[in-house]
Structure 1
Amino acid sequence: MLQTRSETRQFRDWSATCSNDGTCWAFGFAPDFAAGWVRIALPPGPDARPEVAFGYWPDSDAPASTAVGLQIDDRAFPATLDNGGQTPVGRIRSDTIPLIDAMAQGRSMTIKGATTQAVSLNGAAAALLWIDEKQGRLGTTTALIRRGDRPASSVPVAPPLPTVPVAPRIDQTGFGDSGQTLPATLRARREVGDCLKESQMSGIGDGVSSARLDARTVLWAVACGSGAYNLTHFWYLTGPDGREPRPVALVGTAGPGANPVMADNTTINGAYDPETRTLSAFAKGRGIGDCGALQTWAWTGDRFALTRESSMGNCAGVPNDLWPVAWRTR
């Protein structure tokens, strides 16, 4: 069985991420922050097959095109268009192994569509070789780069996903996003007072919301200022009467804290959903949301446990549903 942990590595112009479930992704990007990218995704296990997707932003003045594909040196690899609009996504539906071989050995790669966009191949082979190593494919017939005679059956199977027990739903009468009065025990905390002042200055108002987690625990969120596309919250737990206030411990794959430069109970664009018992955050790298970090935690009855985390460090137009998932659970 494959034993893995989430990890990301940089290989010159390419990056590679492997999740805790053994799935791996390799990304190549257009130079100088241009909008163009190529993604290779490979689940774990002996029967997995690599998938190739790519995207770009066509010139708004260019005529629409349904003919998309990748060109590596003098070889063309046709693709089908997943969606049109501002950020089309192309997928290679045929056997992707010849394409991956061409990427590993090629000198140049270009996305072809309504317009063209070059994507560097510098580091592609090293990123794919690292994935082979992480998934136990080296020397097997399923390897992306270093293939051999070992049978596919020798590739480790995917590890079991961690299980997060989710507490049952509970009535939310009297709680919500409006008309909430923050307990005096929280209002007396210096950082909360600073947040409330910042919220008033930003025009958010009090920016206080609450939710009942169980008969003994209430969740509080305090808005702490906003920018053009990011809203900050501090999160706390108290007893039903506001006693015993304590910050919520939000732990991500990099350790405590949803944001490494902010307090551990901080989220960007955070929200709690009492129906699913989950607290989510979306720290956007820029307004269109094509880069940043997405995290979700579930209330287990005594803590918020991380259930999913994905991130994208390059602002290149990658839709967030195609970002590498560093962590997921059952």
Structure 2
Amino acid sequence: MRYLGGACLAAMALTACGQEDQTAAAAAPPPGQAAAVQNAAPAAAARSENRAFRDWRATCDNTNDCVAFGPASEGTGWVRVGSAPGPDGARTVTVGFWPSGGDGLTGSVTLTLDGRRHVAAAIAGDHDPLGAAEVRPADAAALASALAAGQTLTLAGAGETVPISLSGAAAAMLWIDERQGRLDTTTALVRKGTRPASSVPGAAPAPQVIPAPPIAQTGFGDTGQTLPAALEAVAAVKACRAEIGETAMGDQIMSARLDASTELWAVPCFAGAYNIGHDWYLTGPGGRNPRAVSLASATGESGPGTINGGYDPETRTISAFSKGRGIGDCGTASTWTWTGSAFVLSAESSMGECWGVPADFWPTTWRTR
């Protein structure tokens, strides 16, 4: 599979480290994309939303799938509580930390909550130098509720122990219970009651995004490309070219054929230690009639730019991975799918805090089917 990529393969829009309480309204497909999304969720569908509760952070996506994160009070570590929507929504408890020895976390982790020990098994995957471990699914719901009521928590593994803050844990999980309609039910994490699980609403519907059929890329995607004259003449493109100057990244031009009358061009605009930015344009054949691509986020904001972006002609997607710092443990990952008329946001995940969380475990902020 040929892939036109920047420095990273996943898609992200930069989110600052240490981000505080933030709220993202995205009840329907992001603005301007409704016509390109099939079977979109109704207006009453869930909003993607992020909240801060003292040291903890909680996120629910547009289907009401939710996670809550708590950080290490010393060192680099975290605990993640996942809560899937619906009456039978699964709960997960995942933990991780970055041992100061630098060898990474590869074995099991022991959680000690108010003196009681629990074991989390290592999760396979390429998370180096970070690591993650998960509590048995059968124990996750009870442990999540215990975390909300707990006083002290430590993680131990790789010969080290890391304290985890529980300040805000109860509030974060109570917010998730409320968001998912679990308050006073037998499935609540915090405020349990006698209402049956059957009273919990199901997941909010996710929009369906249908990609356009693949098309041959003969003549596109080769290295050492030059921008068409009509595109070079665009004022915003001139500004990008001036910004990046004569650096090696100035040659990181990308192109693709979207259909018989539409081309896609990516113009390098800036480069840093571990991020390179492109602006994306649609043109007619030969680069004629250029216009900026609108790439929406889960918040509804949109623009033509990606960080560490690339286009995959087989899946018909632009993706990008904007790193908050070099190890890639914070930022935003997004994917946009070409439907034949527009690039539609089809996936997004974001981690606003640089807590050592591998990208596989970041909260989802937008999902489609």
For Structure 1 versus Structure 2, the TM-score category normalised by the shorter chain is over 0.9
TM-aligned CA deviation for residue 85 of structure 1? 5.6
1:37 aligns with 2:98: no
1:282 aligns with 2:282: no
**Contact 1:295–1:308 (8 Å) recurs in 2:** yes
State how far apart, in whole Å, the 2-side matches of 1:68 and 1:168 are.
46
TM-aligned CA deviation for residue 64 of structure 1? 8.1
**Contact 1:202–1:225 (8 Å) recurs in 2:** no
Counterpart of 1:73 in structure 2 is 114
Partner amino acid, structure 2, of 1:17: T
**Contact 2:98–2:104 (8 Å) recurs in 1:** no
TM-aligned CA deviation for residue 216 of structure 1? 1.4
Q: Report SS of the residue matched to 2:123.
A: strand
Percent of aligned positions that are identical: 54
Matching residue within 129, 139, 145 for 1:101:
145
Matching residue within 88, 93, 96 for 1:55:
96
1:60-107 residue CA offsets vs partner (Å, 9 max, x unmatched): 179988452211121111221224863221111042233223212221
**Contact 1:199–1:206 (8 Å) recurs in 2:** no
Bigger relative contact order, structure 1 or 2 (CA pairs below 8 A, ≥6 apart): 2
1:107-149 residue CA offsets vs partner (Å, 9 max, x unmatched): 1111111211111101000000000011111111111111111
Counterpart of 1:245 in structure 2 is 290
State how far apart, in whole Å, the 1-side matches of 2:279 and 2:206 are.
30
Structure 1 or 2: more strand by fraction: 1
Partner amino acid, structure 2, of 1:159: A
Counterpart of 1:86 in structure 2 is 129
TM-aligned CA deviation for residue 47 of structure 1? 1.0
1:229 aligns with 2:271: no
Greater shift in the superposed pair: 110-119 or 190-199:
190-199
Partner amino acid, structure 2, of 1:104: A
1:196 aligns with 2:238: no
Counterpart of 1:143 in structure 2 is 188
Give the 3 Å change call, closer, same or farther, for CA 165–98 of structure 1 in structure 2.
closer
Partner amino acid, structure 2, of 1:14: W
Question: Following superposition, which runs of at least 4 residues in structure 1 exceed 3 angstroms of deviation?
Answer: 61-67, 83-86, 197-200
Instruction: Note the residue ranges of structure 2 that are not aligned, 5 or more in a row.
Output: 1-41
Matching residue within 327, 340, 343 for 1:301:
340
How many equivalent pairs are there? 323
**Contact 1:30–1:118 (8 Å) recurs in 2:** yes
Counterpart of 1:154 in structure 2 is 199
TM-score normalised by the chain length of structure 1:
0.92
TM-score normalised by the chain length of structure 2:
0.83
Q: Report SS of the residue matched to 2:285.
A: coil
State how far apart, in whole Å, the 1-side matches of 2:221 and 2:180 are.
45
TM-aligned CA deviation for residue 245 of structure 1? 1.0
